[in-house]
Chain A
Amino acid sequence: MADRPVPVIEKRLMDVKLGELGSWLGGRDFTPNGLISAVRRGHDRYYNKYINVKKGGIGGVAMLLVGYVAMSYMWEYDHIKHDRWRKYH
């Protein structure tokens, strides 16, 4: 099933083999423009899949909120650590 050989940088992440991961990461665009365009692409994918539809459900917004809750828990973990029930911290 090998069609014409595609350069490794242009493959999607799921198609990259484990050994090629290093070269794949090295070839990605990390300039500010590249980062912003990557963020924009990710946003477009999520938006078009879950929000920009005729009959969207709660999932589109709920997943964003749950992600926000989880991330804020992670950022506050150093403060929450002190509420742990174990005897020795």
Chain B
Amino acid sequence: MLSRLVIVSAGCLKSSSPLGAGLVQASRSLHTSSQSLAPVPALPEKGGKVRHGIFPEEIFQLLYPKTGVTGPYMLGTGLLLYMLSKEIYVINHETFAAASIGGVIIYGIKKFGPSVAAFADKLNEEKVAKAQEVKDVAMSSLAQAVEEEKKEQWRAEGRSMLFEAKRNNVAMLLETNFRERLHMVTNEVKRRLDYQVALQYLHTRMEQEHMVNWVEKSVISSITPQQEKESIAKCITDLKALAKATQAKAMA
């Protein structure tokens, strides 16, 4: 679990010091060849197996066919005794220091190992969740943009209907205007013709009246006084005869 903390801190190390950034590069080259379009493989779940914290499992597997399960332990014991007896490893004050430090370290690891591991796992998980969230947000926003683009395309299809309606409007306006002017022309022409008709009627009436007046005046002026006396005398005799006739009729 210390290695998990190493990964967590390697991230800040990469960004903090330029020397660190030069040495700690991306350990896996991503998409270097022109044909690798596959997604980056995920990290392996567990690292190489290590026994007792410091001995890689490969040594045990190497010696298993020849010496069985206890082989590596016998090898270790033999080497230790050889180094002690030949004093290749010297026991001095540092040995006690190393022993106590080793004891404390082992005790600490056994006691606090799992909790530190869980903490580092949680940190990693948070980072992954944040990246995943960014990716999800980006994908959803892009999908929405695609939806809106499609809707715009559908809207653009209706453009022809819009132009059709506008064209109809304009045609109707033109028609209305044309009919208005037609009405106006008809009315004006009718007015002028009516005026001419009234004028002619007036002419004939005036000629008629004038002629009648003229004829009356000429007749009246042609009646001489002598004729007037004669006609009055005739009227009186006629009246007398008539009176006689009615008197006779009334008496009978």
Contact = CB atoms under 8 A, between A and B. Distances in A.
A29 B113 CA distance: 42
B50 A54 contact: no
B191 to A, nearest CB: 102
B109 A55 contact: no
B39 interface: no
Interface in B31-73: 43-50, 53-54, 56
B29 to A, nearest CB: 10
Given A60-B3, A63-B56, A80-B92, A85 B47 contact: no
A83 B90 CA distance: 7
Q: Chain B: interface residue count, which band? A: 20 to 34
The dominant DSSP class at the A interface is helix
B1 A57 contact: yes
B129 interface: no
Interface in A50-80: 50-63, 66, 73, 80
Interface residues of A, number: 26
A53 B2 contact: no
B87 interface: yes
A20 to B, nearest CB: 22
A50 B58 CA distance: 13
A84 interface: yes
Interface of B: 1-4, 6-7, 27-28, 43-50, 53-54, 56, 87, 89-92, 94, 109, 113, 117, 121, 124
Interface of A: 44, 47-63, 66, 73, 80-81, 83-86
Given A54-B44, A56-B7, 14 more contacts: A44-B27, A50-B50, A52-B27, A54-B43, A54-B45, A56-B1, A56-B6, A57-B46, A58-B2, A59-B3, A60-B3, A61-B6, A62-B54, A63-B54
